Amino acid sequence: MFGELAAFITASLWSMTSIAFSEASRKVGSVYVNVTRMIFALIYLSITLIVINASFNLSASQIGNLVISGFIGLVFGDTFLFNAYRTIGARLSMLIMSSAPAFAALLAYFFLGERLSFWGITGIAITIFGIALVVLQREEKPTSNYRVDLNGIFYAFLAAIGQAGGLIFAKFAFNAGEINGFVATFIRVLSALILILPLTILSKRYLHPIQVFKQNKKGLIYTVVGSFIGPYLGITFSLISISHTKVGIASTIMAMVPILMLPLVHFYYKEKLSWISIFGAFLAVGGIAILFLV
């Protein structure tokens, strides 16, 4: 039960952080938000690990899997997710991200030899159909600054694939032995930052961040808040979840984000949601439930 509760907390946190990061990305750019939130998350995690005196007694294989998980999930996946936030907004991005468990199942089938049942294939199909309903419908007119954009949709699907791959390697690490959730998150974020920070500086995409955020204080506030509830609390609870329950159950509950997003965007952005959007979100999450729970 603890794992399931942690998964629901994760979904709630990701719902809130997606709005914070989409607003920050629109104001200062996706690269500045992506790199800066990792720096803040690393500070939060370092303080936490010192306070709780956490043990770093991990095997080489566990560290290796967490590093790979960080590269795939936080560098590859989240880079595309922040670009999706900037173009299509939080709600549609997180709806497409709900396909991550389906991609995880497909990756496990091709690379790990895990069997996909008839119901598993049905669940994947229902999830994709639910997402397609929302993406392709023309009835809804967004009242926020975001719009349906093919590039943004493509970015969101790549982000979902990245998250799926990151989850699989994180599960490898937890299967090899007990790991503190904060320690696992610290290793993932640190390895991702070590890779992405030099690349963005050398490519001149992350220059003078203090000046950039000083000129846009709202972007800084959104980034700081999003960093705390997303990379710090959100990722930690997601890792705690998969360590205390089956990945399928955890992934299904964490995939509830599109449903939790509906009232948030309605009240925050004043978006008038069509019945097709609401039905599509529930259908997508229902497909994930069939994929793992039937």
Place of tokens 């468990």: 101
Is pTM beyond 0.85? Reply is: no
Give the other-Cβ count within 10 Å of 111's Cβ.
10
- pLDDT grade for 200, boundaries at 50, 70 and 90: very high
Looking at residue 57, what is its pLDDT? 87
Nearest alpha carbon to residue 102 among 78, 130, 82, 76: 130
Q: Tell which wins on pLDDT, 127 or 186.
A: 186
Q: Above 60 in pLDDT, residue 144?
A: no
Closest CA to 165 of 92, 245, 70: 70
DSSP string over 80-92: HHHHHHHHHHHHH
Q: What's the gap between Cα 242 and its chain centre? A: 15
Confidence of residue 137 (pLDDT cuts 50, 70, 90): low
pLDDT in tens, 97-113: 888 878 877 877 777 67
Mean pLDDT of the chain: 85
Amino acid identity, position 113: G
**Cα dist. 152→145, 157, 158, 194, 211 in Å?**
14, 9, 10, 26, 28
